[in-house]
């Protein structure tokens, strides 16, 4: 019995990894949807920093503004083994989450091609993507979705264009 991944069915043999950080599960939902659409591996970025609750929210904003590098958990996947790495983050104070920036720093030089996706209440996407570009490299594509779009699931067309 022959089983094909989505990328093999589409005719491209691009091996993809979805690496993301999510504080409130909005970015996680989007990351899982991208991974499912592509048949890709997925890597949740974890950290020892506590960003939960109201105090965690304030700490996240403070760390984002200072671009603090934080300790991340053990990785399951090596980005160097992938043709494309999709990097996902929530927007914190107009910047990327520190766990994602730390992941990029920990894997410097391992990204062949990147695509960025971000979730936010309403704004901060352009500055977040610019920051990620400074740390990683110029993305082939970007995807910006509001929390409302992700919660309602009203982003299929944007997602299809992003993974093309």
What does the pLDDT look like over 49-95, one tens digit per residue?
899 899 999 999 999 999 999 999 999 999 999 999 999 999 999 99
Is position 44 within any domain? yes
Residues whose CB falls within 8 Å of the CB of residue 91, separated by 6 or more in sequence, listed in order:
118, 119, 120, 121, 123, 124, 125, 128
Is position 40 within any domain? yes
Is position 100 within any domain? yes
Give the pTM. Answer: 0.89
Q: Distance of CA 158 to CAs 35, 83, 146, Å?
A: 15, 22, 12
pLDDT value for 75:
94
Helices 98-106 & 53-66 angle (0-180, nearest 10): 50
Is position 2 within any domain? no
Average pLDDT value over all residues in the chain:
90
Q: Which domain holds residue 159?
A: 16-163
Q: How many domains does the chain have?
A: 1
Q: Could you tell me the CATH number of the domain that includes residue 39?
A: 3.40.50.360
Give the mean pLDDT of 109-114: 94
Q: SS3 of 74, please?
A: coil
Is position 11 within any domain? no
């Amino acid at each position: 019995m022959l089983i094909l991944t989505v990328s093999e069915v589409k005719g491209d043999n691009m091996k993809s990894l979805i690496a993301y950080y999510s504080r409130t599960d909005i970015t996680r939902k989007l990351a899982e949807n991208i991974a499912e659409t592509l048949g890709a591996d997925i890597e949740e970025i974890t950290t020892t920093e506590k960003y939960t609750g109201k105090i965690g929210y304030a700490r996240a904003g403070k760390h984002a503004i200072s671009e603090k590098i934080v300790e991340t958990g053990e990785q399951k996947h090596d980005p160097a083994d992938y043709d494309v790495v999709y990097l996902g983050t929530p927007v914190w104070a107009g910047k990327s989450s520190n766990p994602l920036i730390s992941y990029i720093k920990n894997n410097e030089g391992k990204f062949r091609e990147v695509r960025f996706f971000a979730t936010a209440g309403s704004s901060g996407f352009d500055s977040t993507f610019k920051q990620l570009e400074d740390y990683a490299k110029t993305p082939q594509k970007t995807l910006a979705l509001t929390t409302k779009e992700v919660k309602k699931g009203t982003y299929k067309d944007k997602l299809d264009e992003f993974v093309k």
